[in-house]
A and B are shown apart, each in its own frame.
Chain A
Amino acid sequence: MLLATLATALVLSGPVVATPAKEAPWLPEAAAYRLVLFLGNLAPLPWEDIETAWAEPHRNSEYPVGALAWLDRESDVDTDPLLDATTRQDRQAVFAEATRLIALRIEEELDRAFAADEPATAQRSVRTARELYRAFEDGIAAADPEAALRIGLAWLELNSSTGSAGVLGAGATARDREAMDAARDVISDYLAENYLIDAFSPRRTLNALPETAVLSGRAIDVPPSLPPGSDIFDQDPLPRLVLNFEEQGIDETDLPLVAYGDMLFDSAQIFGGPAQDLGIACSTCHNRSDINQRLFIPGASHQPGAIDVDGAFFNPIFNDRRDDPLDIPSLRGLRFTGPYGRDGRFASLRDFTRNVIVNEFAGDEPTPFMLDALVAYMLEFDFLPNSILTADGRLTEAAPEAAQRGEEIFNRPFAGLGDRSCASCHVPDANFLDRQAHDIGSVAPGYEGARAGALDTPTLLGTAYTAPYFHDGSLPTLASVVDWFDETKSLELTEAERADLTAYLETVGAADDPYEPFDDENTPFRLAFAELTTFASTLDTLLPRRDAEHILLLIDTVAADLAADASTMSNLAARPDVYALAERLAEVGAAVRAEDWEAAEASWDAFKSEADVIEERAF
């Protein structure tokens, strides 16, 4: 039981960095409320999702029922006003009713705590009320830190004064009614003034700010947060990264431009807006150059592994107001897969990258050095080795017989494909692509007469690990892709032929070693430690150049990540050393900010020798 709550107990508020922590579960009504705040800021407003937020458990919820069913069971609070406001699609009314509902629920649980005969029952109601209060907590902390502390203490006081029955009478503590009353007053008075009010001032942005703070007219930034059901963890198992230079035995520390690009690929600092605050980097979606099958953000993802990067959340000015999330594409073999973008809209990887940073994720204009570094790094991404394929893309004799029969079908011209074969576009000796865009009928036209459905031919290499398929991830398996072509292109394949063709795709899309191998010693932290110290090694180049801008970008990324990643260490005893190392790197940054280059170099030298000492224990 010692570690029982470890996986679930984190309460996230405020900015987070690159190591996301799993959130404590939200109570169903608090989860629905937080979803309403998030979805209510999207444009166009996804009303269907708002209804679902109350009717169904959010994605990955630990509660099997949705908020409405939960409230029906647990509460006497009337949900009709909320449902009515939702039916009317009245955003302000939904906000007001949902806010009042949460406040009423807190009051209801507090009433129960005061009425309970058993201390354990009272404690549980206090705990539930406290968990519901969490729905407002980031707003109060942002608007009124003093009130946040006062209320935080009141919860502590309330919990302490509720008393305990002990075990069979041993260790019993009495209820302190007076202290309970005083603590409750602090909480209830604040709710009455800010959340349990008859009319809320109009909200341009939905958030949990207290009404009095909104009325004051002060500009208050509530740190961005993701709603319940979001998942920005790396996928598990983690894809294996294949870097061309590394396979040739070249050390990344000897390639400072590439190493700097590697750092930028992992840096949320190059983005702006909520992405930066939430610790979202290139690698959040493209784990180890590949994909992230679990990534999900409500309102931006229609299914795991997909995201709409030109919606309302990341960069409102770039919002195309089209609900068109894309399945995250793999970046393996990137130097062979241009042009870039699902429809090949960018001939240049550099232009594509700038668009991602500036437009999709609201970052500042990157420097030429940053773009050079990112491109240099990404051009090193190689396909996963697959020993069943020859260099020119033919199956070896080791391939299963079904796949070999499938290879013949793959190369067979079909009338339904205009007398072309699958291989006409997925050219085997050209990495199974043709660098052309074709309209195969997989995109619904945006308007009548639209000719905008042509998408870039994707490679088939590595696809055994990148389900689902098609630009929108609408096909779950390679077999379903075969079925789709068979049906829409009238290929008239027999069942056996479809199975053979599927076997061929699965063989071509396979790899010798698709995932990062981890064990007790070779842990994810060791991998992170090696990466972060490699990133830092670019200081050997940047410090002599007195390149303050790029040094600080590096240090702001790496020092924070190093400290945050220490939380994933299995060698808990070595954690303080890693924190100290992160601080040493931060010292380099402080010295550079103060333009004390001598001190910066001294701290950097100290970092290097300390990192060497820790390296062995960094797991």
Chain B
Amino acid sequence: MAIHLNRRTMLALAGAGAVSLATPLAAQDTALRLAFIPQENPEKLLGDIEAITGWLAEQIGVPVDGFVTVDHAAAVEALRNGDADISFMGALPFVLAEAEIGAVPLLSEVYRGAPSYTGRVFVRRDSGIETLADLRGKDIAFADPISESGYLYPLAEFVEAGLVAGPGDAEAFFGRVFFAGGYQQAMQAMAEGLVDAAGASQYADLLLTPQQQAEVAWIAESEPIPSHVVIARPGLDADLRSQFVNAMMRLNEAGNRDLLRYLYGPDGYVRADPAAYEGVRDMARRYGLLG
């Protein structure tokens, strides 16, 4: 099996096994397997997974297993190998998975009324930095090289502004370019003065303390980015797939909304529109991530 098994994913898989065993009177032997990406504490995610997979199993009538992968790449690998049927994913890794293994988008997360968000370039308000051009020779922290709102889209703003010639050319404009490991780390690095700017999700300043939030501002905002997406491996049984989507859509109902907090906390889900990802595919091509 291609997922690199380590202490923690082993544990996750063991835990998930217990979840599926505990699911009563399933109508079908084949379990639906869900891959989750750790966004925060993987230990907490295990508890969340137990709650949501239990509910989904009741709704769909088949056992539902959930497990935590080490990152997006491992989740895509799991879809390719058939170790996972469905995964929660960012838009950029999704378009890569779509191109490589034919992954299918099922559902998009909704935040504050829209299945999209933006990336922003944040600075400290007292830095005197007001435009992207002011960042010439300065240091910037992005979240991760495979991040749409935490790298590609904010960087594209510099390209649009004619400051960075293109992907791979960022070092020529900036002093240093760091990948901090996540939105929060990139924002902290900026707020604490380790770097001059951070490229991150439009909501990333909410990851700072209330006082820090008052001390930062954003100077550029990207075009809308499709929000995170729930995707399926191409060979997944069509009936099972549509039952899963129908069950997930019921999370939008008032009585079920509480369950959303076990799923990265969106405001709800809409059925995914494959055309909505054209901009991301484009961006991935421009950055040489897609052929």
A168 touching B207 by the CB < 8 A rule? no
Of the candidate stretches B21-29, B35-43, B128-136, B153-161, the one touching chain A is B35-43
CA distance A568 to B217 in the complex (A): 16
Query: Would you give the 0/1 interface string for B74-87, flagging 1 where the beta carbon is closer than 8 Å to chain A?
Result: 10110010000000
Q: Which of A42-92 contact B (CB under 8 A)?
A: 62-64, 73-74
A62 touching B207 by the CB < 8 A rule? no
A120 touching B74 by the CB < 8 A rule? yes
Of the candidate stretches A123-131, A258-266, A321-329, the one touching chain B is A123-131
A167 touching B188 by the CB < 8 A rule? no
Quick check: is A513 within 8 A (CB to CB) of the other chain?
Answer: no
A2, A4, A572: residue with the most chain B Cβ atoms closer than 10 Å: A2
Q: Which of B6, B109, B179 contacts A159 (CB 8 A)?
A: B179
Q: Which of B40, B141, B206 contacts A25 (CB 8 A)?
A: B40
Q: Which of B249-291 contact A (CB under 8 A)?
A: 264-266, 284, 287, 289-290
Distance in Å: Cβ of B73 to nearest Cβ of chain A: 5
Quick check: is B53 within 8 A (CB to CB) of the other chain?
Answer: no
Distance in Å: Cβ of A280 to nearest Cβ of chain B: 15
CA distance A7 to B213 in the complex (A): 14
Quick check: is B111 within 8 A (CB to CB) of the other chain?
Answer: yes
Query: Would you give the 0/1 interface string for A20-60, flagging 1 where the beta carbon is closer than 8 Å to chain B?
Result: 01001100000000000000000000000000000000000
> Hey, which chain A residues are within 8 Å of B183, CB to CB?
5
> Hey, which chain A residues are within 8 Å of B149, CB to CB?
2
Q: Which of A3, A17, A171, A572 contacts B210 (CB 8 A)?
A: A17
Distance in Å: Cβ of B80 to nearest Cβ of chain A: 8
Chain B: how many interface residues by the 8 Å CB criterion?
70
> Hey, which chain B residues are within 8 Å of A576, CB to CB?
217
Q: Which of A149, A159, A166 contacts B180 (CB 8 A)?
A: A159
Quick check: is A157 within 8 A (CB to CB) of the other chain?
Answer: yes
**How many inter-chain contacts with C-beta < 8 Å in the A-B complex?**
175
> Hey, which chain B residues are within 8 Å of A16, CB to CB?
209-211
Quick check: is B214 within 8 A (CB to CB) of the other chain?
Answer: yes
> Hey, which chain A residues are within 8 Å of B182, CB to CB?
5
Quick check: is B193 within 8 A (CB to CB) of the other chain?
Answer: yes
Q: Which of B200-242 contact A (CB under 8 A)?
A: 201, 203, 206-211, 213-214, 217, 227-228
A565 touching B210 by the CB < 8 A rule? yes
B73 touching A156 by the CB < 8 A rule? no
A164 touching B39 by the CB < 8 A rule? no
> Hey, which chain A residues are within 8 Å of B189, CB to CB?
152, 156
Closest to A563 in B: B214
Closest to A565 in B: B210
- Knowing A149-B193, A567-B210, the reply to whether A156 touches B43 (Cβ < 8 A) is no
Quick check: is A118 within 8 A (CB to CB) of the other chain?
Answer: yes
Distance in Å: Cβ of A577 to nearest Cβ of chain B: 12
CA distance A565 to B214 in the complex (A): 10
Distance in Å: Cβ of B261 to nearest Cβ of chain A: 9
B74, B146, B180, B228: residue with the most chain A Cβ atoms closer than 10 Å: B146
A563 touching B184 by the CB < 8 A rule? no
Distance in Å: Cβ of B224 to nearest Cβ of chain A: 12
A567 touching B77 by the CB < 8 A rule? no
Distance in Å: Cβ of A176 to nearest Cβ of chain B: 12
Quick check: is B166 within 8 A (CB to CB) of the other chain?
Answer: no
Quick check: is A582 within 8 A (CB to CB) of the other chain?
Answer: yes
B209 touching A21 by the CB < 8 A rule? yes
Q: Which of A6, A118, A156, A566 contacts B141 (CB 8 A)?
A: A156
B145 touching A171 by the CB < 8 A rule? yes
- Knowing A126-B181, A168-B76, A563-B214, the reply to whether A25 touches B44 (Cβ < 8 A) is yes
Quick check: is B70 within 8 A (CB to CB) of the other chain?
Answer: yes
A120 touching B181 by the CB < 8 A rule? no
Distance in Å: Cβ of B12 to nearest Cβ of chain A: 13
> Hey, which chain B residues are within 8 Å of A11, CB to CB?
184, 188, 209
B178 touching A166 by the CB < 8 A rule? no
Q: Which of B41-81 contact A (CB under 8 A)?
A: 41, 43-44, 47, 70-74, 76-77, 80
Chain A: how many interface residues by the 8 Å CB criterion?
58
- Knowing A2-B117, A6-B203, A6-B206, the reply to whether A166 touches B76 (Cβ < 8 A) is no
> Hey, which chain B residues are within 8 Å of A123, CB to CB?
71, 181
Closest to B89 in A: A1
Quick check: is B195 within 8 A (CB to CB) of the other chain?
Answer: yes
B109 touching A1 by the CB < 8 A rule? yes
Distance in Å: Cβ of B147 to nearest Cβ of chain A: 10
CA distance A378 to B184 in the complex (A): 41
B97 touching A168 by the CB < 8 A rule? yes
B4, B71, B177, B290: residue with the most chain A Cβ atoms closer than 10 Å: B71
Q: Which of A19, A164, A566 contacts B145 (CB 8 A)?
A: A164
CA distance A11 to B141 in the complex (A): 18
Quick check: is B88 within 8 A (CB to CB) of the other chain?
Answer: yes
> Hey, which chain A residues are within 8 Å of B101, CB to CB?
168
CA distance A127 to B227 in the complex (A): 25
CA distance A597 to B168 in the complex (A): 56
A167 touching B40 by the CB < 8 A rule? no
Distance in Å: Cβ of A618 to nearest Cβ of chain B: 15
Quick check: is B199 within 8 A (CB to CB) of the other chain?
Answer: no
A121 touching B4 by the CB < 8 A rule? yes
Closest to B101 in A: A168
Q: Which of B100-146 contact A (CB under 8 A)?
A: 100-101, 109, 111-112, 117, 141, 144-146
- Knowing A5-B183, A167-B96, the reply to whether A579 touches B192 (Cβ < 8 A) is no
CA distance A12 to B214 in the complex (A): 15
B73, B88, B92, B145: residue with the most chain A Cβ atoms closer than 10 Å: B73
CA distance A140 to B146 in the complex (A): 32
B146 touching A1 by the CB < 8 A rule? no
- Knowing A160-B179, A164-B145, A563-B214, the reply to whether A2 touches B194 (Cβ < 8 A) is no
Closest to A150 in B: B194
Quick check: is A564 within 8 A (CB to CB) of the other chain?
Answer: yes
CA distance A17 to B76 in the complex (A): 43
Distance in Å: Cβ of B96 to nearest Cβ of chain A: 4
Q: Which of B97, B185, B266 contacts A167 (CB 8 A)?
A: B97
Given known contacts A63-B43, A120-B74, what 16 new A-B pairs fall within 8 Å (CB)?
A2-B117, A4-B264, A7-B265, A24-B184, A25-B44, A64-B47, A124-B70, A156-B194, A159-B185, A164-B144, A166-B73, A168-B77, A171-B287, A563-B214, A564-B214, A567-B213
Question: Ordered nearest first, which 8 A-B pairs have the shortest CB separation?
Answer: A564-B210, A567-B210, A4-B264, A4-B39, A62-B44, A563-B214, A1-B228, A9-B184
29 contacts between A and B (CB under 8 A): A1-B264, A2-B109, A3-B266, A4-B265, A5-B207, A6-B206, A11-B184, A11-B209, A62-B41, A62-B44, A63-B43, A120-B73, A130-B185, A149-B194, A152-B192, A156-B141, A156-B180, A165-B73, A167-B76, A168-B97, A171-B96, A565-B210, A566-B210, A566-B213, A567-B206, A567-B209, A567-B210, A567-B213, A572-B203
